[in-house]
Amino acid sequence: MPRRTRAEPTEGNTDSFKENSVLPNGIKDGPVKKEKAKDEKGKGKAKRVEPEPADEEPDQTQADDDADVDADGNIDTDSDPENIDGTPRSRKRTRVNAEGDFVPSTPKREQVATLPRDDDGFIPGSIVRIKLHNFLTYDWVEFRPGPYLNMILGPNGTGKSSIACAICLGLNWPPSILGRANEISSFVKHGKESGYIEIELKGAKGQKNLVIRRNLSAKSKGSTLTLNGQSCTGKEITNRMAKLNVQVGNLCSFLPQDKVSEFAQMTPQQLLRETQRAAGDVHLSNWHDTLITAGKELKSLQDKSNDEQERLKTMQERNSQLERDVQRYQERKRIEKNIAVLKVLIPVNEYHEAKERYQKAKDRQRELHARVRKLKDRNAPAHAKLEQLAAQHKEYEKAREKKKTASRQKFQQMKNKWGENDKLERDAEDVTNKLDGLKRAEKERIKKIKEIQGHNEKWQKELDNPPKLEELEVINTEMRKINREHSQTVTRMEDLQERQKKNVDSSAAQQANISGALDQLKNLEDERHRKLEKLRTWDRDMADAVVWLRNHQDKFKMEVFEPPMICCTVPDRRYTDAIEACFNQDQLKILVTQCEEDYTALNNYLNDSGQAGLRKDARINIWFRPKIDLSPPPMSEAELKALGFDDYAINKIECPDGLLWFLTREVNLHRTAIGLDASKVDVNAAMEAVSRDGGGAKFIAGKVMNTVSRSRYGKRVATNMTKDLRPARNLVSSTIDPEIKKKLDQIIQEARQALEVINEDANNLAAEEREIRAEEALFKKTFDALEARKKAVNNQKKHLATLAAKIETNKNKLRDLENAPSVEDERAKLKKRLFEISKKRVRIVKEYTQLIRAAITDQAEATRSGLEFLQVGANKNALEALCQEKDEKYQRALAEFEE
């Protein structure tokens, strides 16, 4: 659309206005022929533009420019930093021509031609008339906008946005610009087959207006165009719009309601370009691109200049460094020359100094040599005496060691004799102890003889008078009789166990039948598990919450229901798509509570306290509303059938009874009518029926969801929004086959009946087993009594045999004690042995005394040798100290001589 701006009237015609266009330097295009620049009090003052009378049309005037010209007509100096002095900054800025190319600046400025208003006030391209027929909410309407600002006011739903849609589509712009339906056929009023949009645009001055008409069809995705009553193509209309500068596709000049969010997301750069396009001058974008290019070149030149400055600074620093290096090089050359001269003079001086040192050293050497000879001759006698003392010291040391060895041998012999004497002393003590114990041993022998004789007499009496014992044969006969009777009981028990085993096998078989049937039923009813896994792929946090809820239902006062996508089913699959379309995503995955107490507790477990162990950032939706009176269904059952509907959605879904309040209060399934056959549903009549109570409702006709609402203003016209149904993904489930379920239930019933019979047989067998067990206990009691009697007889016989063996053993012991040797003989042997031991000890004592005397003599000689050895050693050490002192003087003199 052409951009309309505020303009000031001229003196010639106060009703005529013109469009503003901006030059690249920011000065408005107008009747300005030349500029007079004037310096005001030095550098940096503003320039004033003195406009000359315009030689254009008298109704054109110049508007204010907020960018570069202020209210007083002064040009803003910030927009052009150049001044007018002799510096490079005072040079004129390069200008651009109308195509955006660089050209030298000239005093004369090019003016841009604009489309003037006509006598009636309309700018060429302005909308003069709009006519609509069967377009969206309009049956037929025609209105004529004014030449200036036009506003359309009205409540929601009265068709304001429809007029904007008609302007866009009528000028051959695609529906995608509006952000609504993608097909143009969607803009035909519901229930009508065709419609049209007719727009009359103001023509150029002196030319007739353009009448554009676009014919729409509800059954076709295409449309036809006419221009001034003649058929034309869309390209022709587009070219005409371009000539008139009509920019419906520019959000800065035409902003549909559904494109507001897209407009808000535009960057400042995009907004600037779209505003330039809407400003009316086709060269604005080129000038803008030229400014961007010039700015980039300026930055490049500045960067290049900065690089050259850095390079110059670097070269200067490098030159200064080279100058310092040259000075150091010259100083080095001078020093090297002095060094060369000194190298020649140094050897001569060194020769004279060395010769003088040599002469002094030679005289000193002669003195030291004489001194060394004198000290050596003086020390020779002392060294000879020291050698004599060293030889004598070694001889005394050998003699002392020999005496010490002889003394140690004597002491070792004394130790051995002492050990032999200790051994003989111990043997003598043992013999003495035996002599003392002979009397006690005799008394013990006599006592043992009496004890053995007493035991033998006692045991012999018991053998001579044995107790009366039962006959073992009689006991064995009774035991064989009882065993024969017990064998029959064992046979009965084995037969009983065989029957019990068969009973247990039959019971296990029936239990397996019941378990298999129950598993099959569980697999049939495992739809909840499959839905839970599907929910996990969609919302893992909600799936974890459902698992927690299944394990903790006991924490709540009333039953808490899982999300509808799990606990709701649609038995008739034909209605699945329609019913799922009634839910939004949040309603399909929400937990429903039946009382406020459970609502608070569940929120605390899942969202507040984290006791459920969910993810830290997880937020679980929970629903509860107190029960109130709701609006009834909009149509009776008879009216529902008459309008072609099948039923309300609430009657086609199966769910727990407590969940019905959520489905009616939150999802409004009780007010959503469903008709599977769209051809049978009268949409217009259904719209009136569902909205006659003043509110709104939804109904589904075939594969289309209709949302009907009624305006609260004016005639309260009913409006309808349609949406195609998507295939259901969440409420789709396979229902259980009743025949299969019935068959499985029958198998379970028959197995349980058979199990009852088996259990009854098992009880009878158990009673029989208790009877046999009682007989077994009686047998065991009788058999144990016989075993005890038999054991008592055997134990008594064994006891008598043991007594006879003990008597025989005691007789042998008694015989040994009686034949033992006499005490006097033993005492004579021990005394004789004690005498021999005493003789050996006397002999050892004599030898030990002789060894002590010999050791004393050897020790005295060894002591004398040690004293002599120590005396010679002391003399030797004293002489060594004296020799060492004299040798040190000699060594010092020798060292001075050798130096």
- CA 623, CA 590: separation in Å to the nearest integer? 7
Q: Which class for 426: exposed (0-12), middle (13-18), buried (19 or more C-beta within 10 A)?
A: exposed
pLDDT band of 165, cuts 50, 70, 90: confident
What b/e sequence results for 22-43 when a residue is b if at least 16 CB atoms lie within 10 Å of its CB, and e otherwise?
Answer: bbbbebbbbbbeeeeeeeeeee
Question: Tell me: the pLDDT tens digits for 296-308?
Answer: 888 889 998 999 9
pLDDT of 743 = 81
Neighbours of 696 (CB within 10 A): 19
Residue 143 contacts residue 130 (beta carbons within 8 Å): yes
Task: Supply 556's token pair.
Answer: 């709540």
Mean pLDDT of the chain: 77
What does pTM read for this prediction?
0.33
DSSP 607: I
pLDDT of 583 = 93
Distances 553 to 184, 483, 622 between C-alpha atoms, Å: 54, 64, 15
Q: Which of 248, 191, 198, 242 is nearest to 218 (CA)?
A: 191
Rg (CA), the chain: 68
Task: Supply 117's token pair.
Answer: 């208003």
Question: Tell me: the pLDDT tens digits for 702-719?
Answer: 999 999 887 665 556 778
Average pLDDT of the segment spanning 44-52:
36
How distant is the alpha carbon of residue 604 from its chain centre? Answer: 25
pLDDT of 19 = 33
DSSP state string for 390-428 = HHHHHHHHHHHHHHHHHHHHHHHHHHHHHHHHHHHHHHH
- CA 638, CA 643: separation in Å to the nearest integer? 9
- CA 59, CA 114: separation in Å to the nearest integer? 12
Asked if pLDDT for residue 470 goes beyond 70, the answer is: yes
Which of 84-88, 183-187, 285-289, 349-353 has the lowest average pLDDT? 84-88
Asked if pLDDT for residue 649 goes beyond 80, the answer is: yes
Q: Please name the helix (run of DSSP H) or strand (run of DSSP E) that holds residue 592, with its range, or none.
A: strand 591-592
- CA 84, CA 42: separation in Å to the nearest integer? 10
Question: Tell me: the pLDDT tens digits for 226-258?
Answer: 988 888 988 888 887 777 767 665 555 565 655
Asked if pLDDT for residue 265 goes beyond 90, the answer is: no
Pairwise pLDDT comparison (156 vs 746), residue with the higher score: 746
Distances 362 to 3, 482, 783, 894 between C-alpha atoms, Å: 124, 144, 139, 15
Asked if pLDDT for residue 548 goes beyond 90, the answer is: yes
- CA 479, CA 453: separation in Å to the nearest integer? 44
Residue listed under structure tokens 């007789």: 811
Question: Tell me: the pLDDT tens digits for 749-805?
Answer: 888 888 888 888 888 888 888 888 888 888 888 888 888 888 888 888 888 888 888
